[in-house]
Protein backbone atom coordinates (compact mmCIF):
# COMPACT_ATOMS: atom_id res chain seq x y z
CA UNK A 1 0.00 0.00 0.00
CA UNK A 2 1.43 3.36 -1.09
CA UNK A 3 -1.08 5.96 0.15
CA UNK A 4 -1.15 5.52 3.90
CA UNK A 5 -2.01 8.05 6.61
CA UNK A 6 -1.15 10.01 8.68
CA UNK A 7 1.81 11.89 7.21
CA UNK A 8 4.24 14.63 8.16
CA UNK A 9 3.22 17.75 6.25
CA UNK A 10 6.29 19.73 5.18
CA UNK A 11 4.91 23.21 4.66
CA UNK A 12 7.67 24.39 2.29
CA UNK A 13 7.06 21.45 -0.04
CA UNK A 14 3.28 21.82 -0.17
CA UNK A 15 2.12 22.97 -3.61
CA UNK A 16 -0.40 25.78 -3.94
CA UNK A 17 -3.63 24.61 -5.56
CA UNK A 18 -5.91 27.50 -6.49
CA UNK A 19 -8.83 25.05 -6.77
CA UNK A 20 -8.76 24.64 -3.00
CA UNK A 21 -11.42 27.26 -2.42
CA UNK A 22 -13.30 27.43 0.91
CA UNK A 23 -15.16 24.25 1.79
CA UNK A 24 -18.93 24.69 2.10
CA UNK A 25 -20.23 23.34 5.39
CA UNK A 26 -23.91 22.35 5.33
CA UNK A 27 -25.80 21.70 8.56
CA UNK A 28 -22.73 22.43 10.70
CA UNK A 29 -24.47 25.45 12.19
CA UNK A 30 -27.31 23.47 13.72
CA UNK A 31 -28.69 19.96 13.12
CA UNK A 32 -32.24 18.84 13.89
CA UNK A 33 -32.67 19.41 17.63
CA UNK A 34 -34.80 16.26 17.91
CA UNK A 35 -31.89 14.10 16.74
CA UNK A 36 -29.66 12.26 19.20
CA UNK A 37 -26.14 11.09 18.45
CA UNK A 38 -24.37 8.04 19.91
CA UNK A 39 -21.16 8.52 21.89
CA UNK A 40 -19.22 5.27 22.16
CA UNK A 41 -15.93 3.97 23.48
CA UNK A 42 -15.00 1.65 20.60
CA UNK A 43 -11.92 0.25 22.29
CA UNK A 44 -9.39 2.49 20.54
CA UNK A 45 -11.01 5.95 20.62
CA UNK A 46 -14.16 7.77 21.59
CA UNK A 47 -16.50 8.17 18.63
CA UNK A 48 -19.71 10.10 18.01
CA UNK A 49 -22.00 8.64 15.33
CA UNK A 50 -23.82 11.47 13.59
CA UNK A 51 -27.37 11.74 12.27
CA UNK A 52 -29.05 14.57 10.41
CA UNK A 53 -28.37 16.56 7.28
CA UNK A 54 -24.71 17.49 7.79
CA UNK A 55 -22.38 17.59 4.80
CA UNK A 56 -19.44 19.25 3.07
CA UNK A 57 -18.85 20.12 -0.57
CA UNK A 58 -16.73 22.35 -2.83
CA UNK A 59 -13.11 22.91 -1.77
CA UNK A 60 -12.21 20.86 -4.89
CA UNK A 61 -13.97 17.81 -3.46
CA UNK A 62 -15.38 15.63 -6.26
CA UNK A 63 -18.86 15.41 -4.75
CA UNK A 64 -20.98 16.17 -1.69
CA UNK A 65 -19.92 14.18 1.38
CA UNK A 66 -22.27 13.40 4.27
CA UNK A 67 -20.89 13.52 7.82
CA UNK A 68 -21.12 10.11 9.51
CA UNK A 69 -18.94 10.29 12.63
CA UNK A 70 -16.15 12.07 14.48
CA UNK A 71 -13.48 10.86 16.87
CA UNK A 72 -10.24 11.95 18.53
CA UNK A 73 -6.60 10.84 18.85
CA UNK A 74 -4.53 11.95 21.85
CA UNK A 75 -1.43 11.28 23.92
CA UNK A 76 -0.78 11.11 27.67
CA UNK A 77 -0.78 13.71 30.41
CA UNK A 78 2.72 14.70 29.28
CA UNK A 79 3.10 13.46 25.67
CA UNK A 80 1.36 14.65 22.48
CA UNK A 81 -0.90 12.36 20.48
CA UNK A 82 -2.08 13.96 17.23
CA UNK A 83 -1.67 11.82 14.11
CA UNK A 84 -0.60 14.30 11.42
CA UNK A 85 2.52 16.32 12.13
CA UNK A 86 3.42 19.72 10.69
CA UNK A 87 7.12 20.14 9.86
CA UNK A 88 7.82 17.33 12.31
CA UNK A 89 5.85 18.87 15.17
CA UNK A 90 3.27 16.65 16.84
CA UNK A 91 0.34 18.47 18.40
CA UNK A 92 -1.41 17.33 21.62
CA UNK A 93 -4.62 16.01 20.01
CA UNK A 94 -6.42 15.64 16.68
CA UNK A 95 -10.09 15.58 15.73
CA UNK A 96 -11.27 13.65 12.67
CA UNK A 97 -14.70 14.31 11.16
CA UNK A 98 -15.46 11.51 8.70
CA UNK A 99 -17.69 12.11 5.66
CA UNK A 100 -18.95 9.58 3.12
CA UNK A 101 -19.29 10.32 -0.59
CA UNK A 102 -23.03 10.56 -1.27
CA UNK A 103 -22.75 8.58 -4.49
CA UNK A 104 -21.99 5.42 -2.52
CA UNK A 105 -24.85 3.63 -0.76
CA UNK A 106 -22.88 2.33 2.19
CA UNK A 107 -19.65 2.80 4.08
CA UNK A 108 -18.52 -0.66 2.96
CA UNK A 109 -18.98 0.40 -0.66
CA UNK A 110 -17.28 3.78 -0.13
CA UNK A 111 -14.22 2.08 1.36
CA UNK A 112 -13.60 0.37 -1.98
CA UNK A 113 -13.00 3.67 -3.79
CA UNK A 114 -10.26 6.31 -3.58
CA UNK A 115 -12.89 9.06 -3.38
CA UNK A 116 -15.07 7.19 -0.91
CA UNK A 117 -14.42 9.31 2.17
CA UNK A 118 -13.45 12.89 2.95
CA UNK A 119 -11.96 13.35 6.41
CA UNK A 120 -11.38 16.72 8.04
CA UNK A 121 -8.42 16.80 10.45
CA UNK A 122 -8.24 19.47 13.15
CA UNK A 123 -5.16 19.80 15.35
CA UNK A 124 -5.26 21.09 18.93
CA UNK A 125 -2.81 23.32 20.77
CA UNK A 126 -2.54 23.72 24.54
CA UNK A 127 -3.99 26.96 25.86
CA UNK A 128 -4.03 28.49 29.37
CA UNK A 129 -7.80 28.89 29.05
CA UNK A 130 -10.45 26.19 28.84
CA UNK A 131 -12.30 25.71 25.57
CA UNK A 132 -15.93 26.00 26.68
CA UNK A 133 -17.20 24.67 23.34
CA UNK A 134 -15.94 21.17 24.10
CA UNK A 135 -17.02 21.03 27.76
CA UNK A 136 -20.23 19.05 27.21
CA UNK A 137 -18.43 16.37 25.22
CA UNK A 138 -15.64 16.06 27.79
CA UNK A 139 -18.18 15.81 30.61
CA UNK A 140 -19.84 12.92 28.75
CA UNK A 141 -16.60 10.90 28.63
CA UNK A 142 -17.23 9.60 32.13
CA UNK A 143 -20.35 7.86 30.78
CA UNK A 144 -18.28 5.70 28.38
CA UNK A 145 -15.08 4.79 30.24
CA UNK A 146 -14.80 1.18 29.05
CA UNK A 147 -14.74 -0.45 25.62
CA UNK A 148 -18.29 -1.02 24.39
CA UNK A 149 -19.86 1.62 26.62
CA UNK A 150 -22.20 4.01 24.79
CA UNK A 151 -24.63 6.79 25.58
CA UNK A 152 -26.90 9.19 23.74
CA UNK A 153 -25.92 12.81 23.20
CA UNK A 154 -28.22 15.65 22.33
CA UNK A 155 -27.09 16.93 18.95
CA UNK A 156 -25.31 20.27 18.77
CA UNK A 157 -23.89 22.51 16.03
CA UNK A 158 -20.67 20.86 14.85
CA UNK A 159 -19.17 24.27 14.16
CA UNK A 160 -18.92 24.68 17.95
CA UNK A 161 -16.08 22.16 18.17
CA UNK A 162 -14.05 23.22 15.13
CA UNK A 163 -12.30 26.40 13.99
CA UNK A 164 -13.94 29.78 13.51
CA UNK A 165 -15.39 30.23 10.04
CA UNK A 166 -12.71 32.70 8.97
CA UNK A 167 -9.97 30.13 9.62
CA UNK A 168 -11.55 27.26 7.68
CA UNK A 169 -10.19 28.32 4.30
CA UNK A 170 -6.59 27.57 5.34
CA UNK A 171 -5.85 23.88 4.82
CA UNK A 172 -3.70 21.12 3.33
CA UNK A 173 -5.01 18.39 1.04
CA UNK A 174 -3.68 14.96 0.06
CA UNK A 175 -4.86 11.44 -0.85
CA UNK A 176 -4.50 8.90 1.94
CA UNK A 177 -6.08 6.23 4.07
CA UNK A 178 -7.91 5.47 7.25
CA UNK A 179 -5.51 5.40 10.21
CA UNK A 180 -7.14 2.37 11.83
CA UNK A 181 -7.41 -1.17 10.39
CA UNK A 182 -8.00 -1.99 7.59
CA UNK A 183 -6.33 1.33 6.68
CA UNK A 184 -8.31 1.51 3.42
CA UNK A 185 -6.83 3.94 0.89
CA UNK A 186 -10.17 5.62 0.38
CA UNK A 187 -9.69 9.04 1.99
CA UNK A 188 -9.37 12.56 0.62
CA UNK A 189 -7.69 14.27 3.58
CA UNK A 190 -8.12 17.91 4.55
CA UNK A 191 -5.86 19.00 7.42
CA UNK A 192 -6.46 22.54 8.66
CA UNK A 193 -3.46 24.81 9.10
CA UNK A 194 -4.54 26.51 12.32
CA UNK A 195 -4.96 24.58 15.58
CA UNK A 196 -7.87 24.68 18.03
CA UNK A 197 -7.03 25.86 21.58
CA UNK A 198 -7.72 23.52 24.51
CA UNK A 199 -6.57 23.52 28.13
CA UNK A 200 -4.25 20.95 29.67
CA UNK A 201 -6.95 19.73 32.06
CA UNK A 202 -9.31 19.18 29.13
CA UNK A 203 -6.64 17.27 27.21
CA UNK A 204 -5.91 15.13 30.27
CA UNK A 205 -9.57 14.18 30.60
CA UNK A 206 -9.23 11.79 27.64
CA UNK A 207 -6.40 9.53 28.91
CA UNK A 208 -7.56 9.83 32.53
CA UNK A 209 -11.19 8.85 31.84
CA UNK A 210 -11.11 6.32 29.00
CA UNK A 211 -9.74 2.76 28.78
CA UNK A 212 -8.70 0.51 25.90
CA UNK A 213 -10.40 -2.85 25.32
CA UNK A 214 -7.60 -4.47 27.37
CA UNK A 215 -8.54 -2.20 30.31
CA UNK A 216 -5.33 -0.15 30.10
CA UNK A 217 -5.67 3.66 30.12
CA UNK A 218 -6.53 4.88 26.63
CA UNK A 219 -3.46 6.95 25.79
CA UNK A 220 -1.23 7.43 22.73
CA UNK A 221 -4.01 6.12 20.47
CA UNK A 222 -2.44 7.48 17.31
CA UNK A 223 -0.84 5.83 14.30
CA UNK A 224 2.76 6.91 13.52
CA UNK A 225 3.34 8.97 10.38
CA UNK A 226 3.65 6.98 7.16
CA UNK A 227 5.87 7.41 4.10
CA UNK A 228 4.68 9.91 1.52
CA UNK A 229 5.75 7.62 -1.37
CA UNK A 230 5.84 10.39 -3.95
CA UNK A 231 2.44 11.87 -3.14
CA UNK A 232 1.94 15.62 -3.46
CA UNK A 233 0.54 17.59 -0.56
CA UNK A 234 -1.43 20.60 -1.73
CA UNK A 235 -2.16 23.77 0.20
CA UNK A 236 -4.86 26.39 -0.23
CA UNK A 237 -3.79 29.84 -1.35
CA UNK A 238 -5.41 31.31 1.79
CA UNK A 239 -3.13 29.22 4.01
CA UNK A 240 -0.04 30.32 2.10
CA UNK A 241 -0.99 33.98 2.36
CA UNK A 242 -1.65 33.57 6.07
CA UNK A 243 1.70 31.89 6.69
CA UNK A 244 3.50 34.51 4.61
CA UNK A 245 1.86 37.31 6.57
CA UNK A 246 2.85 35.64 9.84
CA UNK A 247 6.45 35.33 8.64
CA UNK A 248 6.51 38.97 7.55
CA UNK A 249 5.21 40.02 10.96
CA UNK A 250 8.05 38.16 12.66
CA UNK A 251 10.64 39.78 10.36
CA UNK A 252 9.20 43.25 10.97
CA UNK A 253 9.18 42.66 14.72
CA UNK A 254 12.84 41.60 14.65
CA UNK A 255 13.88 44.63 12.59
CA UNK A 256 11.88 46.96 14.80
CA UNK A 257 13.62 45.53 17.84
CA UNK A 258 17.03 46.02 16.21
CA UNK A 259 16.32 49.58 15.10
CA UNK A 260 14.81 50.88 18.31
CA UNK A 261 16.81 49.05 20.96
List pLDDT tens digits, range 198-212. 999 999 999 999 999
Using the predicted structure, report yes or no on whether residue 197 has a pLDDT greater than 70.
Answer: yes
In this prediction, residues 217-243 reach a mean pLDDT of 91
In this prediction, residues 68-88 reach a mean pLDDT of 97
Q: Find out whether 100 and 66 touch, Cβ atoms under 8 Å.
A: yes
Structural domains of the chain in order of their starting residue, each with its CATH number: 8-236 (3.10.200.10)
Least confident of 28-32, 71-75, 210-214: 28-32
Q: Find out whether 86 and 60 touch, Cβ atoms under 8 Å.
A: no
Residues 6+ apart with CB under 8 A from 15: 232, 233, 234, 235
Confidence at residue 167, expressed as pLDDT on a 0 to 100 scale: 96
In this prediction, residues 192-221 reach a mean pLDDT of 97
In this prediction, residues 177-205 reach a mean pLDDT of 97
Using the predicted structure, report yes or no on whether residue 249 has a pLDDT greater than 60.
Answer: no
Confidence at residue 251, expressed as pLDDT on a 0 to 100 scale: 43
Q: Find out whether 117 and 106 touch, Cβ atoms under 8 Å.
A: no
Catalytic positions, written as ranges? 44
Which of the four pLDDT bands, split at 50, 70 and 90, describes residue 115? very high
Which of the four pLDDT bands, split at 50, 70 and 90, describes residue 253? low
Confidence at residue 244, expressed as pLDDT on a 0 to 100 scale: 52
Q: Is 76 exposed, middle or buried (0-12, 13-18, 19+ CB in 10 A)?
A: middle
Q: Find out whether 236 and 17 touch, Cβ atoms under 8 Å.
A: yes
Element (H, E) at 243: helix 237-260
Which of the four pLDDT bands, split at 50, 70 and 90, describes residue 168? very high
Q: How far is CA 67 from the centre of its chain?
A: 13
Q: Please give the full DSSP string across 144-205, using - where no structure is assigned.
A: --STT-EEEEE---GGGSS--GGGTT-EEEEEE--SSTT--S-EEEEEESSPEEEEHHHHHH
Q: Could you tell me which residue, 244 or 110, shows the higher pLDDT? A: 110
Q: Find out whether 56 and 27 touch, Cβ atoms under 8 Å.
A: no
Q: Find out whether 235 and 18 touch, Cβ atoms under 8 Å.
A: no
What does pTM read for this prediction? 0.91
Q: Please give the full DSSP string across 35-57, using - where no structure is assigned.
A: -EEEEEE-SSSEEEE--SS-EEE
Mean pLDDT, the chain, whole residue set: 92
Amino acid sequence: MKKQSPINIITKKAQIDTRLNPIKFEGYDGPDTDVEWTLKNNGHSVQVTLKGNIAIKEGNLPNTYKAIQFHYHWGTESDPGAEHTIDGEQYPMELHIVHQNEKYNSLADALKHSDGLAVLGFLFVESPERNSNINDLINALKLVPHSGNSTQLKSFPLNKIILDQKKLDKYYRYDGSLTTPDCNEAVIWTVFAEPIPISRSQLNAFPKTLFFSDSKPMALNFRPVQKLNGRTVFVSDSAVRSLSAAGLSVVLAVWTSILFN
